[in-house]
Amino acid sequence: MTNNKIQKGIESLKKIKMSSNEESLLRENLINYVDKTLEIKTEDNVKTYKGMPILSQYFKVPSFKPQFAFATFSILGLFIIGAGAVGAAKSSLPGDTLYLLKVKVVEPVEGLLMITPVSKVNFEAKKIDNRLKEVEALVKNNNLSKDNREVVEKNLEKNFEDHAKAFDNFVKDKKDTEVKNSVGTTTEQTEFENNIDQHSVIFDKIKEDIPEEQKEEVKKLEDVVHNKMNEFKEDRKDDEERSSHKENNRDRTKSESRNQDEESNN
């Protein structure tokens, strides 16, 4: 039965084609990814033998990073599958045939195309938003079973971990820029926390008119989100305290240096 269902799904995917606009957009993203990931060897890093270059200094050798190769084959796979199938996968829910394609192929490949730290952290936040919207859709369809809840929970925990890592890299990348506001948080952090709060309000509302068994499943997911958000906020608080401590030490050092200069001049 399961094999027949999978075979029918495969046959349906074969009939879906990618539009020219979708092909152009995906091709553009791939080119941007290549520009950021492909290394070119020139005379500065070409190997030599007894002081002589093995290759002509005018000959350039492309060197592919492992993640580039993975991304390339994955993107080519999406071309083969077709944008229609990708679009269908994006709207799929736990329990649907295409959901595995969504979380194991489509989202990871999209993540590889996020080049900058800010785009990566926003993308990881979007994945968490997707999981919470899936919960709301499952409740609306009266389909938040124990199995579906466990699927969402597992993905949510992984998404929160990926978001935390992306946010750490984002903060490190922006340490010396004017990204932080007066209270030490970032626009990305504020938007992320506000979005989670909005979902919490929706969860409270949908729990009012659903069966008790589904209400319990929602509560379990709420606990996961609550715990992960507390971890995120604690990490950010610790990072802000470390940054503040370093800044105070820097200011103290500058002040002591100025005092020493003044004493020397006197």
**C-alpha span between 107 and 115 (Å, rounded):** 14
pLDDT digits (tens, 9 = 90+) for 140-168: 999 999 999 999 999 999 999 999 999 99
**Confidence at residue 41, expressed as pLDDT on a 0 to 100 scale:** 42
d(CA 141, CA 261): 73
Q: Using CA atoms, how far apart are residues 44 and 38, in angstroms rounded to an integer?
A: 16
pLDDT in tens, 170-187: 888 876 555 444 444 578
Q: Is the pLDDT of residue 75 over 70?
A: no
Question: CA 63, CA 74: separation in Å to the nearest integer?
Answer: 19
Q: Could you give phi then psi for residue 59, rounded to 5 degrees?
A: -95, 125
Domain spans of the chain? 16-114, 116-258
142: its two tokens: 């009266």
Q: Give the CA angle between residues 231, 216, 146 to the nearest 5°.
A: 95
Q: Which DSSP category does 116 fall into?
A: S
Q: Tens digit of pLDDT for each residue in 18-67?
A: 556 655 655 565 555 545 544 444 444 445 545 554 444 444 444 445 55
Best CA proximity match to 154, nearest among 111, 104, 105: 104
Q: What pLDDT is recorded for position 43?
A: 43
Mapped onto helix, strand or coil, the DSSP state of residue 120 is helix
pLDDT digits (tens, 9 = 90+) for 104-113: 888 988 898 8
Higher per-residue confidence, 251 vs 135: 135
- pTM for this predicted structure: 0.65
CB atoms within 10 A of CB 183: 7
Axis-axis angle for helices 146-173, 187-206 (nearest 10):
160
Dihedral angle of Cα 242, 156, 189, 121, to the nearest 10 degrees: 90
Specify the pLDDT at position 237.
84
Distance CA 217, CA 203 (A): 11
pLDDT of 229 reads 94
Q: What is the pLDDT of residues 217-263, one digit of tens each?
A: 999 999 999 999 999 999 888 777 766 655 555 556 666 666 666 66
pLDDT of residue 261: 62
